Amino acid sequence: MSEIVTQTSDGVLTITINRPDKKNALTQAMYGAMADALEAAETDAAVRAVLIAGVAGAFTAGNDLQDFLSNPPRGENAPVFRFLRAISSASKPLVAAVTGVAVGVGSTMLLHCDLVYAAESAKFSFPFVNLALVPEAASSLLLPRMVGYHKAAEMILLGEPFDAAAAVASGIANAVCPDESVVATALATARKLAAKPPTSLKLSKQLMKQAKPDVAAQMAAEGVYFSAQLQSDEAREAMTAFFEKRPPKFN
């Protein structure tokens, strides 16, 4: 089966990340497929809302670290940047169902979703500093605005995982749901949105998003540091240590 599965019914495009053996870690090819799906949804009148889901135990473990080491993104049209542009500028409502781990971009993409449902098993983290990287997807702008500076500093500078209840308490998820029903809850909500007046929905979302006009500029600024750090000795050490299952050592 494909690692990105798409299906449209009742006005809802469901994008399912499906690479369970690697905890849904995202390769360039997978970002490309998700970018294609989101871009096509913009002009497809049959799509009125989008649901993003993972598999049991993994929404996504974030960027594939092997890809970061051997095939780092190059240029602004790299699939990961196409995906980030598509998700941050989507005009139709985006709903996420988070099961299990949501690491790195697994958590930062949620800041661009309109409604987020977290399974009891969900574990969120922004581990960029621990990987000797910097935040991406405009999370360095959006997270402090959403949760307040001190909470964001805890999440980003310490990079420790937190659970579904903490995600709801801090305002980055809407509700905690049992694992068995989180996708059904998110899908039912996406269907509710799909039945609403589409222009009113689009304009209402646009009005809320316009209050954050600096998202693209922040993403570009993050990208400069992110690319430089990706090439750094400290990032290579952090990622090699992950695959060698040992703590990293930074000088």
Per CB under 6 A, 63 contacts ligand COA: yes
Per CB under 6 A, 131 contacts ligand COA: yes
Query: Which residue in 6, 8, 18, 66 binds ligand COA (CB under 6 A)?
Result: 66
Q: Hey, what are 47's tokens?
A: 């799509």
Q: Hey, what are 125's tokens?
A: 């983290």
CB of 126 to ligand COA, least distance (A): 9
For ligand COA, the closer CB: 25 or 84: 25
Residue 25 DSSP label: P
Percentages helix, strand, coil for the chain (3-state, rounded to 5) are 50, 20, 30
Report 9-48 residues binding ligand COA (CB under 6 A).
22-23, 25
CB of 249 to ligand COA, least distance (A): 17
Per CB under 6 A, 155 contacts ligand COA: no
- Radius of gyration for the alpha carbons in the chain, expressed in angstroms and rounded: 17
Nearest-angstrom CA–CA distance, 96 and 36 = 18
Nearest-angstrom CA–CA distance, 31 and 43 = 19
Residue 53: phi, psi to the nearest 5?
A: -140, 165
Report 175-214 residues binding ligand COA (CB under 6 A).
none
Report 99-118 residues binding ligand COA (CB under 6 A).
101, 103-104
Positions touching ligand COA (CB under 6 A) are 22-23, 25, 61-66, 101, 103-104, 127-128, 131, 242
